[in-house]
Amino acid sequence: MKDIIIIGRGAMILSMSAAALLAALPATSQEKVASSKPNMATYITAEEVSAVEKAEPVGDRTIKVIDIGYENFAVGVVHRGRTVKGKSEDRANLKLPPPKPCGRGIEKAPEGGHEGGITHDLQTEGYYVTSGAGTMFTDGYIVNGNNYDLADLNGPTCLGVAYGVTYKKVKKGDVIIIPAGVVHGWIDVPDHVDYITFRPSPGILQSGWTHPAIRR
């Protein structure tokens, strides 16, 4: 794992090929009035990333949330274990708040859908795969889903069976950009996949938050 550097008002430089992610992340209008004017860069070292991974070996973990002026910017790390037909071993005991209906409401859902479909109402994500490989599905739509307010991670999120999706095999070094509202998930992970997440956050994640494993 390489170090991650976040500079100034949202410009980020990575010491690995994940720098390609920058060009693809959605730009926020410069006409927006900044709530503050950051004047310091933020460094996330490889050792800090490893400390977070060691503290929570499985799942989606935010490392730091930084105020970049017009919004917040979160960096995290995800480990997904073996996944077969959209069913992940890691998500079997996932605790969720009470849901609300989401997606397309259909009395009798058709066959051929994929479990594990996800959309985030407001949160765009970027992934940089650091280890492992698998097959993602993206695009399409969710039928008869459940929306959960995941306030500490991605905000309101719809989970359910996805239809009309696109499949893509991804591996170490790949970068994926997922705009808010776009269906995504993993259909097949033979062993594991690890990736760094980049999340420009319009008020969803709290500025200044740091994972307990690396708080000083």
Q: Compute the CA torsion angle 190, 153, 214, 65 (nearest 10 deg).
A: 120
For the chain of 216 residues, list the mean pLDDT of each consecutive stretch of 10: 64 50 50 62 95 92 91 93 79 74 93 93 96 97 94 87 97 98 96 96 82 92
Q: What's the token pair of residue 150?
A: 């995941």
Structural domains in the chain plus CATH codes: 4-214 (2.60.120.10)
Q: How far apart are CA 59 and CA 12, in angstroms?
A: 25
pLDDT at position 36 is: 60
Q: What is the pTM of this model?
A: 0.80
Among candidate residues 34, 7, 37, the one with its CA nearest the CA of residue 19: 7
Which phi and psi (to 5°) does residue 88 adopt? Answer: -105, 135
| Residue 169 burial (CB count, 10 A) | 10
